[in-house]
Chains A and B, each alone.
Chain A
């Protein structure tokens, strides 16, 4: 009933609302996500402190040690490399690529979306067509094809993900822009005769970018998945650099007898994904306050 919204909240309700607002700012998903993600990042950063093993050095005499072996808490892989060290250094690789690979699609996509939404007309139509075309490709398929064409390596992964990933941000920001430019503050800014770039960057961007930021949180999860998947398919970060996807793939051949070889890096991906998803959820909740 409208009574709920129109009535003046009495003292007790006001306190409740304050409580709820405070909970919204630092809500449980956000806190637990940040703590979990912080731990993972700390592990990755402190890798040399947490293990003295070299993640790349092979020792075939010590291959296939089960978790719990002396000096190798998580065992060794088929080349006798220490799994714990590979997990920790793998976290460095995957997190770095995952986070960085979201930055340029975010910037480029948001900027193009801003332009398309503001100017409309033929500019918008052309950009819209390009977006339609890129979106017709499954994300992973086009990324793989691009990585293949450009050649293996971390740089081509960045380039490929940027070339495919910008469209999502473009769509989000364009949609927000169409609404925002009809708002009174946008009209007022326009009427004041400010230069267009200033209106766009100073007045409109801050208002339209929130949804893109929210999306970028879950996009990091999807990008991380894409990178790990590339590693699994043998198209990711080139060996011998440790990477969780490659580790899962190497373990798959021995799945019946050495089930933990694939399971451990897989769980690491799931937990990292969970941490990021919790942060994304928390940010959405916070934005909804």
Chain B
């Protein structure tokens, strides 16, 4: 019950952030230098077309009025119409969103599979050889461009070894699973270096804490100490650490989709930019921000569910 109230409160607290996000997305169009309508339509546009677009964008109205119209449309799920495809932006996004979610999930899973064991090993054998190697990883990996890493993985595992598809992720579930491995690993390999260091620090905190000494003093089995006491505390700190990097994780899907030609919203955004399809760019930018907000919310809720010290009221 208290948890439900907490969820509700957390949802309410999102409203100002969501309003702010919508304002920034709205404001993007005002940043276009000169007259947005003629810039958007290019040099060959007829004055007639420019006037129509001006009206459609509401550029002649005052700023606040324009924003309120934009917000009104947004609340009805109307993100405008694509200049390129002519279809609704919302439709375009809902078609491409599943690929991005697939990528996000596989990226998170691979990140956890890589970062958590390495952090645990490093923390448990502190200052050992393995720990020193693992501690060097973030330094080397920080400057690793994800798109380049993706290309290298395609070269090695897609083209040379032929284990995974080079581009796209097919239409069936099996295709999806096969196609999402390399992109997921690419994300994981660029995100893990950032995570490992803070995860290792929090694992050391957990393993050195007094309650682990208390548990050991009870004379229960080592497995019980690890799984009954260390693991849940480690999970609490892992979730917190991961939460800090959510936005980064979400942003990296954009580049990785491009490299692997995954039909997600990131790929949609790039092709819309190259096609100067402004409403779609706006819609995708908004979607990215909302995704970050939702993932952040889920992180907070998980954290609150795992850690009784989080104040629910």
Contacts and interface: CB of A to CB of B under 8 A. Distances in A.
Touching chains A and B, CB distance < 8 Å: yes
B213 interface: no
Contact of A252 (B17, B151, B251, B274): B151
Interface string B246-278: 011011101100110000001001100110000
A221 B143 contact: yes
B84 interface: no
B16 to A, nearest CB: 6
Given A144-B273, A151-B33, A229-B147, A29 B139 contact: yes
A262 B152 CA distance: 9
A148 B273 contact: yes
B31 A146 contact: yes
Dominant secondary structure of chain B at its interface with chain A = helix
A136 interface: yes
Interface string B235-247: 0000000000001
A213 interface: no
Contact of A266 (B23, B148, B154, B282): B148
A166 to B, nearest CB: 14
Contacts of B250: 138, 141
A136 B296 CA distance: 9
Contact of B143 (A136, A252, A272): A272
B143 A224 contact: yes
A235 B24 contact: no
A177 to B, nearest CB: 20
Given A141-B251, A141-B288, A132 B17 contact: yes
A141 to B, nearest CB: 5
Given A142-B285, A144-B254, A277-B139, A135 B247 contact: yes
A118 interface: no
Interface string A69-97: 00000000000000000000000000000
B28 interface: yes
B281 interface: yes
Interface in B26-41: 28-29, 31-33, 39
A211 to B, nearest CB: 15
A276 interface: yes
Given A145-B28, A145-B281, A148-B281, A137 B147 contact: no
B269 A232 contact: no
Contacts of A130: 20
A138 B251 contact: yes
Contact of A255 (B23, B140, B155): B155
Interface residues of A, number: 55
Contacts of A129: 16-17, 20
Contacts of B23: 133
B50 interface: no
A252 B154 CA distance: 10
B288 A233 contact: no
Given A141-B285, A142-B285, A144-B254, A234 B143 contact: no
Interface string A227-256: 011001111000000000100110110011
A104 interface: no
Contact of A273 (B143, B248, B258, B293): B143
A145 B285 contact: yes
A229 B258 CA distance: 11
28 contacts: A129-B16, A132-B16, A133-B20, A133-B21, A136-B20, A136-B289, A137-B24, A137-B292, A141-B250, A145-B28, A146-B28, A149-B29, A150-B31, A151-B33, A225-B143, A229-B146, A233-B255, A235-B273, A245-B145, A251-B151, A256-B155, A262-B151, A269-B148, A270-B143, A271-B143, A274-B143, A280-B142, A281-B139
Interface of A: 29, 129-130, 132-142, 144-146, 148-151, 218, 221-222, 224-225, 228-229, 232-235, 245, 248-249, 251-252, 255-256, 259, 262-263, 265-266, 269-274, 276-278, 280-281
Rank and list the top 7 A-B pairs by shortest CB-CB distance, nearest first.
A273-B143, A138-B251, A133-B20, A266-B148, A149-B31, A140-B251, A277-B142
Given A134-B24, A222-B142, A276-B143, 13 more contacts: A138-B288, A144-B270, A146-B31, A221-B143, A232-B145, A232-B255, A232-B258, A233-B255, A248-B147, A269-B145, A274-B143, A277-B140, A280-B142
